[in-house]
Structure 1
Amino acid sequence: MNASATAARGGRAAFLGAAFAFALTMIGTTMPTPLYPIYQQTFGFSQLTITIIFAVYAAGVMGALLITGRWSDQLGRRPMLLAGVLISAASDLVFWHAQGLGPILFGRVLSGISAGIFTGTATVAVMELVPDAWKRVGPLVATAANMGGLGLGPMVAGVLAALAPLPLVLPYVLHLVLALLAALFIWRAPETVTRPARIRLRVQKLKVPPEVRGVFVPAAIAAFAGFMVCGFATSVTPAFVGGQLGYHNPALIGVVAGSLFIASTLGQMVQDKLPEARRLPIGCGVLLVGVLLLAWGMAAQTLAGFILGPIVAGIGQGIAFRAGLGAVAAASPVQHKAAVVSTFFVVAYVAISLPVIGIGLVASVLGLQLTGLLFDALVALLCCVALGLLLRRPAAKAG
């Protein structure tokens, strides 16, 4: 089925419905962030336990990306999106009734699987369903739904936890109701893929051909650094803001944690205004400044650093990530493009999970403040390495 004809038949309602489902699913993945201090108080979790809870989410994302990354080309977009949103709803049910570590870990794995399915499939579906009159805003809507949803998750949950009763129940109940509405939107949307006569479901292979490595390595290092900060924002920020700075309001914690993703959305939107050959170096430089501001916030124990740092770092991460992904995709041979892009995303989600676990382990020995400063130093070093590699390349090849 022709994608443009399908989009025309589906109209604006199908496009907006798919974007809503995308954003809502991503909201669900970050809702627990401002609730972590409440979980700690309720169940007696350590900071290491909190980081592990977050890390299993990233494992779910990576598993879904690798296993189901190409399934929507075979089964269709709608079945995969329906599966993703229903798994997200199942995560809400698990969190709603969670009374200990086991159910919470299971809920995070389900949440990660739903995000992994949506990260690839929903981006393509939103682009395929965009009406002709809105073609120019299609990529921006997909970006805003993805990163904007990740940013709104902690903000919404934090406000609900601060202003309404049952902070460990109400956010998930509300999200569950909206997830069922999103499933209805997906059910009514037109399919944009024609199933092949013989369906072949294969695991996405990771691959970086030699001719792509010169572009891939600095872009992947920049992405690794940026997503390390994303992992920090959604797993460790609550402990810093609450434990180190003494601000225990869930709404404030949610805003601080979510601001990086909102800023990343802005960065991805404005990167088109930058010179193509300099987008990735500029993104790395802005990310470096944001990381230094965050380090100042940790060292001086000031909230200003935790507000300015994530905003600046988020803008840099958004610029660098979109520019790096675009450069990698453009440099990849057609027959290897999907594998290379999947490898790029896996690098990003490894960066979200493993360093955060390291923070939890090291913090139990050195304390959270010193560990956070060492973490920032590592991110800054990666930014400098990526910048060095990029600036050594000829300008014509950098974008």
Structure 2
Amino acid sequence: MQKRWIPFYWVCAALISGTMGTALASPLYPLYQQLWQLQPSDITTMFIAYMAGTLLSILFLGRLSDSLGFAKVLRAGLLLVLLGVILSALAQNAFMLSSARVLIGIASGLISTSGMMGMLQTSPLPNEGQTARWYASLNGFGFGMGPLIGGVVAQISGGSVWLPYVPVIVLTAVVLYQMCRIPFHAPSDPKPLDFKPRLALPAAGLGRKQFYLAAGGAFAAFAMFSLYASLAGSFIAEFLPWHGPAVSGGALALVLFLSSATQLGLRRLSLAQAYAAATAMILIANVMLVLTLQLHSMVLFACSVVATAMAHGLTLMAGFGKVQEVTNHHNRAAVVSTFLVSGYFGAIMPVIVLGWLADHLGVSRAVIIYCSAFGLWAIALFSGFVQLKRRQRLQTV
């Protein structure tokens, strides 16, 4: 029995260690900004470098596991993470760090796809539903532990920008070594290598319009997460009496942990209830953050963090559920890719504008404008949702 669990445990460990490096640099950005005399747009560019790498990986490398097997792809992802984190620790300027972040982003895409496949193939759990819940929990746990550990180590070490990477380097090296020792089975019917992006929309009609709303929600939720991941350390210092890498890293970790907890705890909600709640949380998160910057309230900031986390979790839950509902096995994978691309564009394009605004208007004003825009976006999404529900009821009468 124990031997059956060992491969599964190490695939889970690979997923955790592979995702820890992804957001580890976020609480360190203010330190880099001071060390290298960077503008806010330089910080957002370093963050976007990771997201761009992940997007490229999802678009062009998402089917490697079908051809090479999950084990080879997972090992390659871990190796890229290890190289990226080492380069991050050794970085001497923004270009070196951005290049390392691209590597980590590519690795993140590889690990996300191969890790899920690996868990399904090695899982001794009784059904795929339980395995999928493990995957969601471990994925969020790994993403959250990275900035938490990085922020705490940076705070304790007095602002070191290389020491926070050491725990992740050691852990990833150990997991990679163990993954190379385990003889995982190769795919019995490997598919030919295919690097062409496969994107698609649901069939025209009500389902496609529902998908547009789901994708719009993902765009907003990813944009809010990216705000915290890129500039939280900069704007937190303006209204909290105590701040630093541990605070910004803890805030980002809380968003990721609560996002996973939301998906698990509220999984019994209907898709309509989940989407309505998601749009409400997007609006509340933006309003709370604007009020935080105006009133300098720790309570309002905590409410904004919780609302952002719930919006992120509910949006993913409702979005993937809707994709499942409006697709079939012929186009599901391509539509899922389109949904994820919508989210990652939300993590890239608005943040570019945010960095430009911060350079010219200051961080606080830029964040207020950013939040105001996405507050209106949330209202528009909810209005579209209500109209579609009304049309759906009329069609069934």
The two structures share one fold, judged by TM-score above 0.5: yes
Q: Distance in 2 between matches of 1:115 and 1:242?
A: 30
Distance 2:392 2:313 in 1: 20
Q: Deviations over 1:171-221 (max 9, x none)?
A: 222211111122134334564662536623232222214334222101001
* Cα-Cα RMSD: 2.3
Match of 1:28 in 2: 21
The answer as to whether partners of 1:288 and 1:313 remain within 8 angstroms in 2 is no
Give yes or no for contact 1:294–1:305 (8 Å, CA) kept in 2.
Answer: yes
Distance across 1 between alignment mates of 2:167 and 2:175: 12
The residue correspondences of 1:242-261 to structure 2 (distance < 5 A) are 242-243=237-238, 245=240, 247-261=242-256
Using the TM superposition, name which of 378-387 and 22-31 deviates more.
Answer: 378-387
Pair 1:23–1:282, CA change in 2 (3 A): same
Q: Secondary structure at the match of 2:330?
A: helix
Which of 339, 344, 358 aligns to 2:353? It is 358
Shift of 1:376: 0.8
State percent identity of aligned pairs.
Answer: 25
Aligned residue in 2 for 1:309: 304
Letter in 2 for 1:40: Q
CA contact (8 A) 2:155 2:245 kept: yes
User: Cα–Cα, structure 1 residues 188 and 269, in superposed 2: closer, same or farther, change >3 Å?
Assistant: farther
Q: 1:365 to 1:169 in 2, by over 3 A?
A: closer
Structure 1 counterpart SS, 2:331: helix
CA offset at residue 129 of structure 1? 2.4
User: CA deviation digits over 1:331-362, x for unaligned, max 9?
Assistant: 11322111111111111111111111111101
Distance 1:197 1:29, change over 3 A: closer
CA distance in 1, matches of 2:42, 2:195: 34
CA shift, 1:133, in A, is 4.3
| Secondary structure of the structure 2 residue equivalent to 1:348 | helix
More moved, 136-145 vs 218-227: 136-145
Give the match for residue 62 of structure 1: 55
Unpaired segments ≥5 residues, structure 1: 1-7
Once structures 1 and 2 are overlaid, which stretch shifts more, 66-75 or 117-126? 117-126
Q: Secondary structure at the match of 1:334?
A: coil
Aligned to 1:13: 6
* Partner residue in 2 for 1:52: 45
User: Residue 335 of structure 1: SS of its match in structure 2?
Assistant: coil
Counterparts of 1:319 and 1:61, CA distance in 2:
22
**In the alignment, is the contact (CA less than 8 A) between 2:202 and 2:211 conserved in 1?**
no
Q: Aligned partners of 2:183, 2:348: CA distance in 1, in Å?
A: 36
SS in 1 for 2:189: coil
Question: 2:338 aligned with 1:343, yes or no?
Answer: yes
Could you tell me whether the CA contact under 8 Å between 1:241 and 1:253 is conserved in 2?
yes
Return the alpha-carbon distance in structure 2 between the equivalents of residues 10 and 393 of structure 1.
51
Deviates more, 1:179-188 or 1:114-123: 179-188
SS in 2 for 1:210: coil
Name the residue aligned to 1:283. Answer: 278
Q: Is the 8 A contact 1:61 1:115 kept in 2?
A: yes
Supply the AA of the counterpart residue of 2:149: V
CA 1:41 to 1:117, structure 2 compared with 1: closer, same or farther past 3 Å? same
Tell me which residue corresponds to 1:233. Answer: 228
Q: How many residues are aligned here?
A: 391
2: CA distance between counterparts of 1:191 and 1:214? Answer: 42
Whether the aligned pair in 2 keeps the contact of 1:238 and 1:257 (CA below 8 Å) is no
Counterpart in 1 of 2:215? 220
In structure 2, runs of 5+ residues without a counterpart are: none
Corresponding residue to 2:85 among 85, 92, 117: 92
Q: Deviations over 1:98-136 (max 9, x none)?
A: 111221111111111111112222123223322134755
Residue 82 in structure 1 maps to residue 105 in structure 2: no
3-state SS in 2 of match to 1:62: helix
After superposing the two structures, state which structure 1 stretch, 224-233 or 139-148, moved more.
Answer: 139-148
User: 3-state SS of the aligned residue for 1:339?
Assistant: helix
Alpha carbons 1:125, 1:192 under 8 Å: kept: no
Residue in 2 aligned with 1:5? none
Could you tell me whether the CA contact under 8 Å between 1:73 and 1:195 is conserved in 2? Answer: no
How far does residue 25 in structure 1 lie from its aligned partner after superposition? Answer: 1.6
Q: Is the 8 A contact 1:81 1:117 kept in 2?
A: yes
> Retained in 2: the 8 A contact 1:76–1:195?
no
Q: Following superposition of structure 1 onto structure 2, how do residues 146-165 of structure 1 map, counting pairs within 5 Å?
A: 146-164=139-157
Give the TM-score normalised by structure 1.
Answer: 0.91
The answer to whether residue 379 in structure 2 is matched with residue 384 in structure 1 is yes
1:4 matched residue in structure 2: none
- Partners of 2:202 and 2:326 within 8 A in 1: no
User: Counterpart of 1:267?
Assistant: 262
Structure 1, 267-276 or 252-261: larger mean CA deviation: 267-276
Quick one: distance in 2 between partners of 1:195 and 1:385? 48
TM-score (norm. length: structure 2)? 0.92
Give the stretch that moved more between structures: 346-355 or 241-250.
241-250
Q: Indicate yes or no: 2:359 matched with 1:370.
A: no
| Aligned residue type for 2:257 | I
Taking a change above 3 Å as real, the CA distance of residues 395 and 69 of structure 1, as seen in their structure-2 partners, is farther
Q: Which of the residues 165, 170, 174 maps onto 1:172?
A: 165
Structure-1 residue corresponding to 2:321: 326
Cross-structure match for 2:104: 111
Aligned partner letter, 1:262: F
